[in-house]
């Protein structure tokens, strides 16, 4: 029988465990250079685990009790999360946070939670990124495609500039919206930008002339002052641009261009990688451009490219 997970507001970690959690979170932020959001997610995952174990064991577990957990205890936690409707991907990510805390305890001689290593992570159904066709990706980044909308021209130019960065430079939406005005050179005055990605890691990304021109068009028409140290992209009232605004713009374009629901801002980044690979791009170079820490993350695009080749074969070969 599984144990239900108590609400977060009724749980208080045992003092020794709470102290180690605080030290671990500091380690993640200062030494591992994880983003604030990642640290918050890891903390939430560990607290959910400890909340479950508090009810499962009859009280907040101490460090010595964590070391005595069995694989059955961990499986009970996983079953409880499944019952709460948590999917395999979220559960796997949650286990990653919990195991990170367990490794921290072991390295600091606070006990080894061997049960976590003994339990396999849930299997995930393999899903491939869904890039847009080349022609569709180009149209998304064209402000003229939304010329009929009742919006100011500078707003349409702004959205087109963001989409140009996602497709033309392979940026994440957070990376594009995190750019400062001074990060992007004017057309003809530079051919690269420095992007700050996950974990505050920086990388150099080529700036295509078409992308630079799209940004320059937006900047020229923007009614707000854009100081070098301020955000490059601003909202209708002059504040930092919200990712949700770009997502909504993409939704409108999906309807106008007849694109599938999989056509999201992040799909433009997938399209960038897939189109480079299909034209002979080097996988290691694409890894660097995307800012992937591991080549295995980039290798998924080889499967995408193979699948697209098979689709062409099935639809055109006489014997298919």
Mean pLDDT score of the chain: 85
Q: What is the DSSP string of the chain?
A: ---PPPPGGG----HHHHHHHHHHHHHHHHTS---HHHHHHHHHHHHHHHHHHHHHHTSPPPHHHHHT--HHHHHHHHHHHHHTT--HHHHHHHHHHHHHHHHHHHHTTS---HHHHHSPPPP-------PPPHHHHHHHT-GGGGTTSSS-HHHHHHHHHHHHHHHHS---HHHHHT-BGGGSPPTTS-SEEEEE-GGG-EEEEE--HHHHHHHHHHHHH-SS---TTSBSSB-TTSSBPPHHHHHHHHHHHHHHHT--TT--HHHHHHHHHHHHHHTT--HHHHHHHHT-SSHHHHTHHHHHHHHHHHHHHHHH-TT-
Q: Note whether 169 and 205 are within 8 A (CB).
A: yes
Q: Is the pLDDT of residue 275 over 70?
A: yes
> pTM of the predicted model, to two decimals?
0.61
Find the catalytic residue in 110, 269, 270, 275. Answer: 269
Question: Is-catalytic flag, 198?
Answer: yes
237 classed as catalytic: no
Q: Please tell me the predicted confidence (pLDDT) of residue 251.
A: 92
What pLDDT, on a 0 to 100 scale, did the predictor assign at position 277? 81
The pLDDT assigned to 227 comes to: 95
CB within 8 Å of 272: residues ≥ 6 apart: 166, 167, 168, 169, 170, 289, 290
Q: Which fold has domain 8-118?
A: DNA polymerase; domain 1 (1.10.150)
Q: Catalytic one among 81, 158, 181, 292? A: 292
The stretch 268-294 carries a mean pLDDT of 83
In this predicted structure, what is the pLDDT of residue 2? 41
The answer to which of 145-149, 193-197, 254-258, 273-277 has the lowest mean pLDDT is 145-149
What pLDDT band is residue 161 in, cutting at 50, 70 and 90?
very high
Predicted pLDDT at 7: 39
User: Given pLDDT bands bounded at 50, 70 and 90, which one contains residue 6?
Assistant: very low
Domains 8-118 and 134-316 share a fold: no
Question: What pLDDT digit, counting tens, does each position of 9-67 carry?
Answer: 335 678 899 999 999 999 988 877 787 888 898 999 999 999 999 999 888 999 999 99
For residues 186-208, average pLDDT: 86
At 222 the pLDDT is 97
The pLDDT score that the predictor gives to residue 19 is: 92
Instruction: Check whether 223 has a pLDDT greater than 80.
Output: yes
pLDDT of 264 over the 50 cut: yes
Tokens of 80: 């409880």
Q: Which CATH class is domain 134-316?
A: mainly alpha
For 163-185, what is each residue's pLDDT tens digit? 999 999 999 999 999 999 999 98
Active-site pick, 110, 172, 181, 275: 172
Mean pLDDT along residues 134-155: 88
pLDDT for the residue numbered 31? 75
Of 47, 62, 151, 198, the active-site residue reads 198
pLDDT higher than 70, residue 118? yes
pLDDT of 125: 59
Instruction: Specify whether the backbone of 123 is left (phi greater than 0), alpha (psi in -120 to 50) or beta.
Output: beta
Which pLDDT does position 127 carry in this prediction?
65
Asked about 266 being catalytic, the answer comes back as yes
Domains of the chain by residue range: 8-118, 134-316
Please say if 120 is a catalytic residue: no
Q: Does 313 have pLDDT greater than 60? A: no
Residue 136 has pLDDT above 70, yes or no: yes
pLDDT exceeds cutoff 90 at 304? no
C-alpha Rg value of the chain to the nearest Å: 24
The distance in angstroms from the start CA to the end CA of the chain is 51
| Tokens 């530079």, located at residue | 190
Q: Average pLDDT in the 125-137 region?
A: 79
What's the confidence (pLDDT) of residue 8? 38
């Amino acid at each position: 029988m599984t144990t239900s997970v108590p609400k977060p507001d009724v749980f208080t970690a045992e003092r020794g465990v709470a102290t180690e959690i605080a030290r671990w979170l500091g380690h993640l932020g200062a030494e591992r250079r994880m983003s604030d959001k990642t640290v918050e997610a890891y903390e939430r995952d560990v607290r959910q685990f400890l909340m479950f174990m508090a009810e499962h064991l009859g009280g907040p577990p101490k460090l010595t009790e964590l070391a005595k957990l069995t694989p059955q205890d961990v499986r009970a936690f996983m079953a409880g999360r499944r019952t709460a409707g948590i999917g395999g991907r979220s559960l796997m990510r949650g286990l990653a946070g919990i195991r990170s805390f367990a490794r921290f305890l072991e390295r600091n001689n606070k006990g080894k939670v061997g049960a976590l290593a003994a339990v396999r992570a849930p299997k995930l159904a393999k899903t491939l990124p869904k890039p847009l066709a080349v022609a569709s990706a180009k149209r998304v980044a064209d402000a003229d495609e939304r010329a009929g909308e009742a919006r100011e021209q500078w707003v349409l130019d702004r959205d087109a500039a963001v989409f140009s960065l996602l497709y033309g430079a392979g940026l994440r939406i957070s990376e594009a919206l995190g750019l400062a005005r001074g990060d992007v050179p004017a057309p003809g005055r530079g051919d690269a930008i420095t992007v700050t990605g996950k974990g505050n890691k920086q990388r150099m990304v080529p700036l295509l002339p078409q992308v630079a021109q799209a940004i320059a068009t937006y900047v020229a028409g923007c009614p707000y002052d854009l100081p070098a140290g301020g955000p490059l992209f601003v909202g209708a009232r002059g504040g930092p641009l919200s990712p949700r605004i770009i997502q909504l713009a993409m939704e409108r374009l999906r309807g106008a261009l007849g694109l599938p629901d999989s056509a999201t801002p992040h799909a433009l980044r997938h399209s960038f990688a897939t189109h480079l690979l299909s034209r002979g791009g080097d996988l290691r170079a694409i890894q660097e451009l995307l800012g992937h820490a591991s080549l295995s993350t980039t290798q998924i695009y080889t499967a995408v490219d193979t699948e697209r080749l098979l689709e062409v074969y099935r639809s055109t070969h006489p014997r298919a």
